A and B are shown apart, each in its own frame.
Chain A
Amino acid sequence: MEGALPEPQRRLAPAARWLWRLEGALGALVALIAAGVVDAATSGWPGPAAWLAALLLVVAAVLVVPELRWRRWRWEVREHEVDIRRGTLTITRTLVPMLRVQHVDTRRDLLEQMLGLATVVFHTAAGENRIPALPLHEAGLVRERIAELARTADEL
Chain B
Amino acid sequence: MSSESPDVALGPPRRLHPAGIAVLALGALRGAALPLLAVFLAGLAGRGLDTHALVRALALAGIATAAATAAGVVAWYTTTWQIGTGTLRHRRGVLSVKETDVPLGRVQAVDTVRGPVQRLFGVVGVHVQTAGGGREAEIVLPALSAGDVAALRDAVGARRPAARAPEAPAAPPEPVRRRRLGRRQLLVAALTAGRLGVLLPVVAALAQLLDDVFQGDEVRDAGRLGATLTPDTAGEWVLLGSGVLLAAWLISMAAVVVTFAGFTVARDGDRLHISRGLIARREASVPVARVQAVRVVEGVLRQPWGLALLRIEVAGYKAEAPAAQTLFPLLRRTEVRGLLDELLPELADAPDRLARVPRRAARRYALPPALAGLAAGAAAALLVPGAGPWPLLLALPGAGHGLLRWRAAGWRLEDGRLAVRWRRLARTTVLAPAGRLQEHALSQTILQRRARLADVEVRIGAGTRGRVHHLELPTAARLFAALRLRRDPRPT
**B478 to A, closest residue via Cβ:** A3
Chain A residues positioned under 8 Å from B8 (CB to CB) = 144, 147-148
Judge whether B444 and A5 touch: CB under 8 Å: no
Interface residues of B in 431-468 (CB under 8 A from A): 437-446, 449, 454, 459-462, 464-465
Interface residues of B in 144-163 (CB under 8 A from A): 161
Interface residues of A in 83-101 (CB under 8 A from B): 87, 89-97, 99-101
With A80-B485, A97-B485, A104-B100 known as contacts, the answer to whether A123 contacts B444 (CB < 8 A) is no
Chain B residues positioned under 8 Å from A95 (CB to CB) = 439-441, 480, 483-484
Interface residues of B in 114-168 (CB under 8 A from A): 130-134, 138, 161
Chain A residues positioned under 8 Å from B485 (CB to CB) = 80-81, 97, 99-100
Interface check A150, CB cutoff 8 A: yes
B488 CB → nearest A CB, Å: 5
B56 CB → nearest A CB, Å: 33
Task: Among B97, B315, B437, point to the contact of A113 (Cβ < 8 A).
Answer: B97
Interface residues of A in 1-57 (CB under 8 A from B): 1-5
**B1 to A, closest residue via Cβ:** A140
Chain A residues positioned under 8 Å from B96 (CB to CB) = 107-110
B233 CB → nearest A CB, Å: 42
Complex Cα distance, B94 from A108, in Å, reads 9
Complex Cα distance, B2 from A137, in Å, reads 8
With A87-B443, A145-B5 known as contacts, the answer to whether A5 contacts B487 (CB < 8 A) is no
Judge whether B99 and A105 touch: CB under 8 Å: yes
Interface check B413, CB cutoff 8 A: no
Judge whether A1 and B444 touch: CB under 8 Å: yes
Judge whether A125 and B315 touch: CB under 8 Å: yes
Judge whether B130 and A103 touch: CB under 8 Å: yes
Chain B residues positioned under 8 Å from A151 (CB to CB) = 86-87, 103-106
Chain A residues positioned under 8 Å from B87 (CB to CB) = 144, 147-148, 151
Interface residue total, chain B, C-beta cutoff 8 A: 59
Judge whether A125 and B99 touch: CB under 8 Å: no
Judge whether B3 and A123 touch: CB under 8 Å: no
Judge whether B439 and A100 touch: CB under 8 Å: yes
Complex Cα distance, B46 from A112, in Å, reads 46
B10 CB → nearest A CB, Å: 9
With A106-B99, A150-B103, A151-B87 known as contacts, the answer to whether A90 contacts B3 (CB < 8 A) is no
Complex Cα distance, B162 from A155, in Å, reads 9
With A4-B481, A99-B488, A125-B461 known as contacts, the answer to whether A94 contacts B98 (CB < 8 A) is no
Complex Cα distance, B106 from A152, in Å, reads 11
Judge whether A123 and B133 touch: CB under 8 Å: yes
Judge whether A97 and B437 touch: CB under 8 Å: yes
Q: What size tier do the contact residues of chain A reach?
A: 35 or more
Chain B residues positioned under 8 Å from A101 (CB to CB) = 103, 106
A112 CB → nearest B CB, Å: 9
**A80 to B, closest residue via Cβ:** B486
Complex Cα distance, B440 from A140, in Å, reads 25
Chain A residues positioned under 8 Å from B5 (CB to CB) = 141, 144-145, 148
Q: Would you give the 0/1 interface string for B49-91, flagging 1 where the beta carbon is closer than 8 Å to chain A?
A: 0000000000000000000000000000000000000110000
With A92-B443, A156-B487 known as contacts, the answer to whether A125 contacts B438 (CB < 8 A) is yes
Chain A residues positioned under 8 Å from B438 (CB to CB) = 96, 100, 124-127
Judge whether B487 and A123 touch: CB under 8 Å: no
Task: Among B7, B132, B445, B461, point to the contact of A103 (Cβ < 8 A).
Answer: B132
Task: Among A87, A91, A102, A110, point to the contact of B131 (Cβ < 8 A).
Answer: A102
**A105 to B, closest residue via Cβ:** B100
Chain B residues positioned under 8 Å from A5 (CB to CB) = 481, 484
Complex Cα distance, B438 from A125, in Å, reads 7
Interface check B95, CB cutoff 8 A: yes
With A102-B106, A145-B5 known as contacts, the answer to whether A2 contacts B99 (CB < 8 A) is no
Judge whether B133 and A125 touch: CB under 8 Å: yes
Judge whether B439 and A124 touch: CB under 8 Å: yes
With A108-B96, A150-B106 known as contacts, the answer to whether A123 contacts B134 (CB < 8 A) is yes
Complex Cα distance, B465 from A65, in Å, reads 28
With a 10 A CB-CB cut-off, give which of A80, A118, A126 has the most chain B CB atoms.
A126
Judge whether A154 and B97 touch: CB under 8 Å: no
B104 CB → nearest A CB, Å: 7
Judge whether B3 and A140 touch: CB under 8 Å: yes
A115 CB → nearest B CB, Å: 13
Complex Cα distance, B480 from A94, in Å, reads 9
**B87 to A, closest residue via Cβ:** A147
A96 CB → nearest B CB, Å: 4
What are 12 residue pairs bridging A and B, where the CB atoms are less than 8 Å apart in the complex?
A: A2-B473, A3-B477, A4-B481, A91-B449, A101-B106, A126-B459, A127-B462, A148-B87, A151-B86, A151-B87, A152-B86, A155-B161
Residues of A near any B CB (own CB < 8 A): 1-5, 80-81, 87, 89-97, 99-110, 113, 118, 123-129, 136-137, 140-141, 143-148, 150-156
The 4 A-B residue pairs whose C-beta atoms are closest, nearest first, are A140-B3, A123-B132, A102-B132, A126-B438
